[in-house]
Amino acid sequence: MPTSIPHWAAGAPYAGTSGLTAPVTNPATGAVTGTVALASDADAHHVIESAAEAVAAWRATSLARRTQIVFRFRELLNSRRDELASIITAEHGKVHSDAVGEVTRGQEVVEFACGISHLLKGSRSAAVSTGVDVHSVRQPLGVVGIISPFNFPAMVPMWFFPIAIAAGNTVVLKPSEKDPSASIWLARLWKEAGLPDGVFNVLQGDKTAVDALLRSPQVAAISFVGSTPIAEYVYCEASRFGKRVQALGGAKNHMVVLPDADLDLAADAAVNAGYGSAGERCMAISVLVAVEPIADDLVARIAERTRTLVIGDGAAGTDREADMGPLVTRAHRDRVASFVASGEAAGAKVVVDGRQTAVAGEESGFFLGPTLFDQVTPDMEIYREEIFGPVLSVVRVRSYEEALALVNSNPYGNGTAIFTNDGGAARRFEQDVEVGMIGVNVPVPVPVAYYSFGGWKRSLYGDTHAHGVEGVHFFTRGKVVTSRWIDPANRPAGGLELGFPRND
Ligand code: NAD
């Protein structure tokens, strides 16, 4: 029997009243394992109301107490990481070790948020003018909405909610309807950690739920992560309703390989970053830019490695360890396969064809093997579109300058990498490339929690990146207080002075 996956409000599961649900599948078997509630406007209102009611008490809770709860959440998460990873694998399809990695990277943000007392410290200047002092404070916003994509059902929400909660906000998380169970597991964990009811809430659903969050006068800010068209919509719509918004969008990440690079390491990196999580990562490498004369050699080394990958059910305890699991849904698998057909029709050379990959015993799963294209040109659909699957396209160029121009002319600017042993070239790349996150001999340069995560151009709408100090800034508002306390021993002269006050 598929399990029912509810919303979460006021510290308890909430079934909702819409009567609408969507199926949730295990992508490795194709079986329907759950039905997730889809919110109506009324359901959304109920969940947002739960968050709104909790604001006053939570923002007044001492920093010491808030920090203790975040610490406890971290301890529980750390001890049950495997449990959450199994839930992720069962609905997303990524292999268990990768799911553990996802939880670990999310946990790092929780650890960062444990230092919130330090992060919220304001500043103070004494005697800015005679008898006048100035100090600054940062205060929470109120209710914040987090809308997350399917590809990191635990880590992406954890980019935001630990900091939002630690800073004194209350949260409504709207997870992807494709893998919604992780959100309810996290809600239960918060409860166990002692978080007061209503501080962390989950609103399940589709566009109706999203629109309710974007338009609710009770929601102060929106953190969105997903595809570029929806990021742009969310940014415009939430801004129209007066909210603070950060909307992280899609990607087309290029990995440049210069002729002096260590080609074995570059080939390993291309395979790991191209096919890890079946290419369903916003930091996946989808374009490899080979600076001649190394392309033939590099393509051969990558192709050789793809043939050693084990594709299969990534659940822990299965009889063999898979390197790569299925794609998230049948529709997505078919869409990615249609991109492979489009690349072939456009004249790209199919070096490895994932459509031929058979996964024994898992015929009903949504599998597609690693695919490698060579001789791809920028006019082809497989170069222009974000495929979000295990498809790596090799574009051949003649020089570093041509490689840089290609990366910079792409409308996306999420991540990129350069592989070289030439420090000067790497430094020039770092300075000149128009991308938010850069790896030097590192293919998936996801910043650590105390830096911030975010792209440029069509990979980010808004100006604030996720987590790190930018995250603290996003979830708080600054106030500056100018004060004068009357000291009878040194009383100001008083009198009327209508001119603009001068500081002296
Ligand atoms: P998506 O845009 O389809 O969905 C993201 C969220 O928006 C989900 O919660 C979904 O329910 C909601 N949504 C979908 N359609 C909507 C609509 N018409 N109106 C309102 N809300 C809608 O993205 P996805 O397929 O779940 O995730 C994959 C995408 O996310 C890729 O493009 C990937 O690059 C991107 N992503 C980006 C980052 C980043 O940091 N930049 C990180 C992870 C994923």
How confident is the model over 402-426, as pLDDT tens digits?
999 999 999 999 999 999 999 999 9
Return the SS3 of 143. strand
Helix H or strand E encompassing 397: strand 391-397
Ligand 1 centre from 227 Cα, in Å? 4
- The residue range of the domain holding 257 is 253-440
Q: Which atom of ligand 1 is nearest to the CA of 174?
A: 9
Q: What is the mean pLDDT of the chain?
A: 96
Q: Which residue has the tokens 């750390």?
A: 78
Q: Where are the alpha helices (DSSP H) in 379-455?
A: 381-384, 400-409, 423-432
Same domain, 168 and 273: no
Q: pLDDT digits over 85-122, tens only?
A: 999 999 999 999 999 999 999 999 999 999 999 999 99
Ligand 1 centre from 332 Cα, in Å? 13
> Is 493 a residue whose pLDDT tops 90?
no
Which domain CATH number covers 431? 3.40.309.10
Q: What is the pLDDT of residue 502?
A: 77
**Ligand 1 in reach of 249 Cβ (< 6 A):** yes
Q: What pTM was computed for the model?
A: 0.97
Q: What is the pLDDT of residue 414?
A: 98
> Is 503 a residue whose pLDDT tops 90?
no
Same domain, 139 and 23: yes
Same domain, 404 and 380: yes
Judge contact between 172 and 52, C-beta under 8 A. Answer: no
Give the pLDDT mean for 78-88: 98
Closest C-alpha residue for ligand 1 atom 24: 149
Q: What is the pLDDT of residue 213?
A: 98
Give the pLDDT mean for 285-312: 97
Same domain, 218 and 264: no
Q: What is the pLDDT of residue 316?
A: 80
> Is 500 a residue whose pLDDT tops 70?
yes
**Ligand 1 in reach of 177 Cβ (< 6 A):** yes
- Under 8 Å CB-to-CB from 296, ≥6 apart: which residues? none
Q: Is there a domain that residue 365 lies in?
A: yes
Tokens coding 17: 């009243």
Q: pLDDT digits over 427-462, tens only?
A: 999 999 999 999 999 999 999 999 999 999 999 999
Q: What is the pLDDT of residue 227?
A: 98
Q: What is the pLDDT of residue 319?
A: 59
Which domain CATH number covers 137? 3.40.605.10
Give the pLDDT mean for 341-367: 91
Same domain, 86 and 203: yes
Running DSSP on this structure, what letter comes out for residue 488?
G
Tokens coding 28: 């490795």
Judge contact between 133 and 487, C-beta under 8 A. Answer: no
Q: Where does the pLDDT of residue 75 fall: very low under 50, low under 70, confident under 90, or very high at 90 and above?
A: very high
Q: What is the pLDDT of residue 494?
A: 84
**Ligand 1 in reach of 174 Cβ (< 6 A):** yes
Same domain, 378 and 357: yes
